[in-house]
Amino acid sequence: MNKIIRIAVDGPSGAGKSTIARKVAKKLGIEYVDTGAMYRAVAYKMTSEGIGPEEGERIEAVLKDTVIDFDQGVITVDGTEVESKIRTPEISEAASIYSALPPVRASLVQAQREIGHRKSVIMDGRDIGTNVFPDAQYKFYLTATAEERADRRYKELVERGQEVVYEEILEDIRQRDHNDMTRVLNPLRKAEDAIEVDSTHMSIDEVVDFIYDRVV
Ligand code: DC
């Protein structure tokens, strides 16, 4: 099959997009691109260089000199793997701030389009079906209630031995939903032609099969 296919998976934080997209990519033998990781990588680079979100010109200059890529599915910044560094609460918060900035979005959207022009991809994020690839052949909007998403996150963290408070996780999810849905530039919303999948009462494999069955 030589035809390039593009699958967009958008939705709020904690809906299971990356777990599901990764599994669908494996079943289809295509590339998975985690665009949230790219925004996290930018937030990581800016904060480690001490560049604040108000420093537009410095941000643009640094973006021009920064290479964000994936090496066998693992995110790299300037050739160095940063996976564990970008999955902290601090970077989650910073990513939601830096991802609203026009130069950051322009640079990452361009990089995402370049990847999707070269090969078949399943890309997850907030604005893939609405902005990055409005012409994607397949679009899914993956949701679950905020309570269910907080519950999943809570269980995941408890399993890792962390002490966490459910109400705080729920509040954090609500805050991130608000930031992502109300920002001026490319806010999170369902593309008109996206298939909505409410995973509140579905298992991971049920969602994977649902998407896979519509694509093959
Ligand atoms: O999916 P995530 O939590 O790793 O995303 C990190 C941040 O990046 C989150 O605040 C939303 C933002 N983001 C975005 O604005 N556009 C995307 N396509 C993907 C993520």
Q: Could you tell me the pTM of the whole model?
A: 0.94
Q: What is the mean pLDDT of the chain?
A: 95
Residue span of the structural domain in which 120 resides: 6-215
Instruction: Indicate the burial class of 112 (C-beta count within 10 angstroms; 0-12, 13-18, 19 or more).
Output: buried
Domain count across the chain: 1
Res 2: pLDDT: 66
Q: Which amino acid is at 187?
A: P
What is the CATH classification number for the domain harbouring 15?
3.40.50.300
Residues with CB under 6 A from ligand 1: 13, 35-36, 39-40, 95-96, 99, 125-128, 176, 180
Whether 136 is in a domain gets the answer yes
Q: What is the residue with the minimal CA distance to atom 4 of ligand 1? A: 36
For 40-71, how does the pLDDT look when each residue is reduced to its tens digit (9 = 90+)?
999 999 999 999 999 999 999 999 999 998 88
Whether 139 is in a domain gets the answer yes
Whether 1 is in a domain gets the answer no
Ligand 1 centroid – CA 2 distance (Å): 30
For the CA of 14, the closest atom of ligand 1 is 3
Q: What is the residue with the minimal CA distance to atom 13 of ligand 1? A: 36
For the CA of 37, the closest atom of ligand 1 is 4
Name 6's Cβ contacts closer than 8 Å, sequence gap at least 6: 116, 120, 121, 122, 123, 133, 135, 136, 137, 138
Whether 52 is in a domain gets the answer yes
Q: What is the mean pLDDT of residues 16-31?
A: 96
| 166 vs 176: CA distance, rounded Å | 16
Torsions phi, psi of 10, nearest 5? -115, 165
| 116 vs 57: CA distance, rounded Å | 28
